[in-house]
Amino acid sequence: MNAYYKLRIDTSDREEVNRMCSKYFDKYMVAYENQDTSNAHVHLYIEMSTKADTLRRYIRKKFGSGNSCYSLKALDSECPIEYLAYIMKDNEYEIFDIPPTVIEEAKGYDKKVKEQMKEKKKARRTQLQILREMLVEQLVEEVDDSSEDVHRVFKTSGETVTKESIVNMIISYYKTEKKLVREFMMVSLAQSLCLEFVPSYAYSFKNRILDKL
């Protein structure tokens, strides 16, 4: 029964790497990194029925006597896309008997991750937009007769917007929508809304920034 491993060896000896691959591995990908530098090494994904200790003895004999020259770690699954993408990126690589569909998926992994991150950022902006629209719908502008300052108050209660009222609104929204939210994200949303709708908070925030300059 085959087992799956990731392997790194500090070497620039391609011929010896190729001999090892042919001798011990049923399937593999080998990526050559920094081959023209003092930090030359190779990364491998391997599938083999050979015992790991047998491979370790061979590596020590051919590439170095100590454990520091290599790292061999067992993997939980076959052809882990994230690891294949990592060793392929910006490196020259060779493969043997790994399905082309797996290689194509690994090639597109970075693009997929970047797209997912972009969607997450877009979703965070969307949450802020939704909460802002909710808040605006609840408010009405009033003019202070003495100072002629314009400030926003809640339509139903006539009370001014405070940090606490904004936080309560955010909590209520996530409870109603049954959405999970991390604390740092809730703080970020509250800060953004307070900067716009709570003049005292915006004033103190500005002063804190100025004090750091």
- pLDDT tens for 97-110 read 999 999 898 888 87
- Label residue 146 by pLDDT band (50, 70, 90): low
- Cα separation of 108 and 102, whole Å? 10
- Label residue 151 by pLDDT band (50, 70, 90): confident
Q: Under CATH, what is the fold of the domain 3-107?
A: Replication Protein E1; Chain: A, (3.40.1310)
Residue given tokens 């990731």 in the structure block: 6
pTM over 0.75: no
CB distance 190 to 163 below 8 Å:
yes
Residue 66 confidence (pLDDT): 65
DSSP assignment of 65-106 equals SSGGGEEEEE-SSSS-HHHHHHHHTTSEEEEES--HHHHHHH
Residue 57 confidence (pLDDT): 92
Between residues 119 and 132, the one the model is more confident about: 132
Alpha helices, H only, the chain: 14-24, 52-63, 81-88, 100-107, 109-138, 163-177, 183-197, 199-212
- Label residue 149 by pLDDT band (50, 70, 90): low
Overall average pLDDT of the 113-128 stretch = 75
DSSP state of 145: T
Overall average pLDDT of the 50-67 stretch = 87
- Label residue 49 by pLDDT band (50, 70, 90): very high
Whether 147 shows a pLDDT value over 80: the answer reads no
Between residues 116 and 162, the one the model is more confident about: 162
Question: In percent, how much of the chain has pLDDT > 90?
Answer: 48
- Cα separation of 131 and 127, whole Å? 6
CA distances from 82 to 94, 111, 113 (A): 17, 12, 10
Give the residue range(s) of CATH 3.40.1310.10 domains in the chain.
Answer: 3-107
Residue 24 confidence (pLDDT): 95
- Label residue 69 by pLDDT band (50, 70, 90): confident
- Label residue 25 by pLDDT band (50, 70, 90): very high
How buried is residue 69: exposed, middle or buried, by Cβ count under 10 Å (0-12/13-18/19+)? middle
